[in-house]
Chains A and B, each alone.
Chain A
Amino acid sequence: MPVFHIDGEPVEYEPGEKVLSAALRCGKIIPHYCYHPGMSVVATCRMCLVDVVDLGNGRPAPKLQTACSMDAAEGMKVETLNPKVEEGRKLVNEFLLVNHPLDCPICDQSGECTLQDYAFEYGSGKSEMDYSKRVNGWRDIGTFVALERNRCIQCSRCDRFTREITGTNEFGMFNRGHELTIDTYADRPMTNKFQGNMADICPVGAITEKEFRFKRRVWKLKKNHSICTGCSTGCNVTIEHDRNEVFRLKPHENQNVNKWWLCDEGRLTYRLMNERKTRIHQPLGRVDGKLEGVSWEEAYAAIAERVADMSPLPEEVLALTDTHASNEELFLLQKLLKDVFSTDNTFCPLPKWEQSESEFFINTLITTDKTPNRAGALALKIKGDAKSAKLKKAIEAELKVVFVLGNPFEAEVEVLEKIKKAQLVVHLGTFHNSWSEIADVVLPGQYYSEKEGTFVNKNQLVQATEIAVHALRRTRPEWRILADLSAALGQQSSYGSSADVFNAMTEQLKAFSGLSYAEICGVGKELRQQTKDSGMKVVKAQT
């Protein structure tokens, strides 16, 4: 690749690339507001001024240039820190603050606001503006975001977002000159499903998420990389939490999956991470027809005792799971049935789903499959669907032991009725549901934000989640429960962590061979052997 120089350091660039984009890629910070790598360049904030001391032909540029619109050229020498540049940034920053309300103490963006950061760096600390400031006021523009127009610095990122990214065009710039302001057209509320991104890309606090407004100062939030489990796209997210409470999900850039974006529905999945009312807090056992709290040891012992008493035949054992479970959990569940009961009666629901197709990339993020690991279940060859003959046949048998992981077949009353008759129903899950009501033993699992796990998204990409918050005291991750269960039932297992399970999978399963846990933790890795999903239907996206 050709090379140019920023502050004396060589920087590689692709032909046609702009100075700012190449600089950011190499970790060189040039202050900017209006530039966003996913959208067109407008060069209007004028903050990314740099001094081009050599255009590549030995001559300097006549004046300061905006790095975002300047084509990089072989041999070009750019200075970003000399006094001329500092002076240029200072005056642009002064202009930006002329009409900015400086209400940082009550602004949610405070702490992650680039205007605030650069004002500290380049601001003078005292204003020479002694006239009343422009007032445009607060606007309720949609379900997900609020607009505080006084704070706006007219960078037009939000305008370009609805124009170029979602194609919905419901948001734009109005008026002219210093009265230029942003709003929706004809006072209609916003309708797109990706409004949260407008809050993300807003460099100041003009657009903020309603869900997060006035909840927590952002510098208190701790951040962990994770995967959105709202659907099978598996968008990369950052879970932001404080004192064990999750406050919001933000998209995490991954060019292979979601680029910079995340849908509003996905953002709202943070609510379940804080859900306590319907959570299962401790192991429960049925005593005299009523579920009562027991210890983990008592629960395991009781299950082992009952299974030994019944000594069930292979066809009398069944496991049901949903595709919310991670690869490790599905693998261990399958293994438990195979090793202990010599059966492969593991089923999960695999309904048909639709994938949107659109000229706007962002629309393809939403699928109708609202579970994160359908592709993982397919790779593990777990049989499925409530309508399938195999499941019908399996539940017709005289069932003795049934394991239920999560909340599979929640709408299938028939399945539930049949399973109810089994002699021992063990439910592993995080929330109380119809399965925990009929179960004889309920073992509390942990939610995505509390445990590690790997998921396969709709494009066969394997990705991992991190532990973000502390789990409830008396819960255990499902992979550990399943390992413990098989130990209690006489099969020794030696998994110390979720990564151990994953490594065992890569050794034992062809589909996962060749992967390593370390590899998938960053941007994910595609499965070597991919399974075709016959339940997918491509539909035109509705805008």
Chain B
Amino acid sequence: MAEETLVLFKNIRNPKYDKSLAAYKKSGGFKSLKKVFGMKPEEVVQEVKESGIRGRGGAGFPTGLKWSFMAKGTGKPSYLVANADESEPGTCKDRELMLKDPHMFLEGLMIGCYAIGCHHGYVYVRGEYFPSIKSLNAAVDELYADGLLGPDPLGSGFNLDITIHTGAGAYICGEESALLDSLEGKRGHPRVKPPFPAVSGFNGCPTSVNNVETLACMPFILGDNGVEAFKSFGPQNNSGTHLVSLSGHVNRPGVYELRMDVNMKDIIYEYGGGIRNGKKLKGVIPGGSSSPVMTADEVDVLYNFDDLAKKGTMMGSAAMMVFDEDTDVVKLLHRITRFYAHESCGQCTPCREGTHWSRQIVRDFLNGNGSDEKLQRLNRVGGNMMGTTLCALGDAAAMPIQSFVKKFPEEFRKYYATV
């Protein structure tokens, strides 16, 4: 089996590691935080910028840039919210971090808080993640008991609190502005942007929302010689290691920590151990259910943000779903459209009506009522959702529909041509 590059998983891959604060400190934990407390916040942001780390939540926006956009001199408090509402189908990387090494993530969160001048960080955890919530709460308690949280941690004079907040399991609350609405106690509805959260976010104050994995990278980046090492893990603009949630018809599904210059083929056949039962590969959904699907011919590509974008798809949250030759693609699409129809918040028109309508059309194929006309209509309804909605959920629902229709039209035809 091919080797992983261990940065985020260096403790998790150690069988003796017991995720306690003592064990984390022993592995070199909180050294970076101590170093960061000796720096100016602007210097921290600069280092993060130089490392070139891009957000691991799905959009791939440079984190350093995001932090530098935070409104300053508003007289309002700033907030850092960790987005732990990991709900993109196929993604299970943040859960690993929170469950097995919560202190690394929390140290990253604390570094982030210091960088943007936030004295109260929030972790918005997905409601279904009970073991993660338990693990995080225990870790935060440990930190308070140790004096690393609360007034004056490590003698820095920088008061810091962290609150673990549990969501109620809505996919849309993974969208940053809906997450903030939910955190404020409202219905999780995405907000109109601008103003962006960096100007008016949680309670109308400047807020940065960052993914768990992004924050968990911070202790490494701000450690000794971290920036250079981090940059060396991948091609330009795609620096660092990242966690790949590999699932589907592979022999060894799981979360792997990989450099950004690993070929997708290798991920499937080396790390994943090939397709189950010796079957042939049919296709891959490369970055969570919302990313456009790739056929078996297309998988010879480096698995990172830019190379996948060149192929007309996206890495998203790095959740690879592999499916073999026996898979019924129409059923798969039906499952995906059902998900988006259920998870659309419903406030804006194209997404509310489009997700449901497209689900009905796909179901028609399964019921044997398909036709060429309906296939075209399905493609049109998907296209009409694209780019016309308030948040990205409309696009997320449209991309799989359009790509499935484009890349597997024969599969749809099978449902009505043979009758």
Contact = CB atoms under 8 A, between A and B. Distances in A.
B343 A95 contact: no
B352 A180 contact: yes
Interface footprint category on B: 20 to 34
A178 B348 contact: no
A176 B348 contact: no
A226 B68 CA distance: 56
B2 interface: no
A46 B388 CA distance: 7
A41 B345 CA distance: 17
Interface string B164-187: 000000101000000000000001
B347 interface: yes
Given A71-B194, A94-B384, A131-B360, A44 B347 contact: yes
Contact of A179 (B346, B387, B388): B346
A98 B357 contact: yes
A46 B389 contact: yes
A71 B192 CA distance: 12
Chain A at the B interface: SS class:
loop
Contacts of A131: 357, 360
A176 B356 CA distance: 11
A178 B341 contact: yes
B353 interface: yes
B349 A96 contact: yes
A44 B384 contact: no
Interface in A353-368: none
Contacts of B360: 131
Interface string B381-395: 000100111100000
Interface string B333-350: 000000001111111111
Given A64-B388, A176-B170, A45 B343 contact: no
Contacts of B390: 43-44, 46
B400 interface: no
Given A64-B388, A91-B384, A178 B353 contact: yes
A175 interface: yes
A153 B349 contact: yes
A151 to B, nearest CB: 14
B208 to A, nearest CB: 22
Given A41-B192, A176-B345, A176-B346, A88 B355 contact: no
A233 B359 CA distance: 53
A177 B353 CA distance: 8
A96 B349 CA distance: 6
Of A47, A63, A131, A177, the most chain B CB neighbours within 10 A belong to: A177
Interface in A46-60: 46-47, 49
A63 B355 CA distance: 21
Contact of A178 (B170, B187, B344, B388): B344
B341 A42 contact: no
Contact of A177 (B341, B377, B384, B387): B341
A80 interface: no
B354 interface: yes
Given A129-B357, A131-B360, A92 B350 contact: yes
B366 to A, nearest CB: 14
Contact of A44 (B170, B349, B355, B356): B349
Given A177-B352, A178-B341, A128 B347 contact: no
A154 B192 CA distance: 16
B343 A177 contact: yes
A99 interface: yes
25 contacts: A42-B347, A43-B348, A44-B348, A64-B387, A71-B194, A88-B388, A92-B350, A96-B349, A131-B357, A131-B360, A154-B346, A156-B347, A173-B187, A173-B346, A173-B347, A175-B346, A176-B346, A177-B341, A177-B352, A178-B344, A178-B346, A178-B353, A179-B346, A180-B345, A180-B352
Interface of B: 170, 172, 187, 192, 194, 341-350, 352-357, 360, 377, 384, 387-390
Interface of A: 41-47, 49, 63-64, 69, 71, 88, 91-92, 94-96, 98-99, 128-129, 131, 153-154, 156, 173, 175-180
Given A95-B357, A175-B346, 13 more contacts: A43-B192, A46-B350, A46-B388, A47-B349, A88-B388, A92-B350, A95-B350, A95-B352, A95-B384, A98-B353, A128-B377, A177-B345, A178-B356
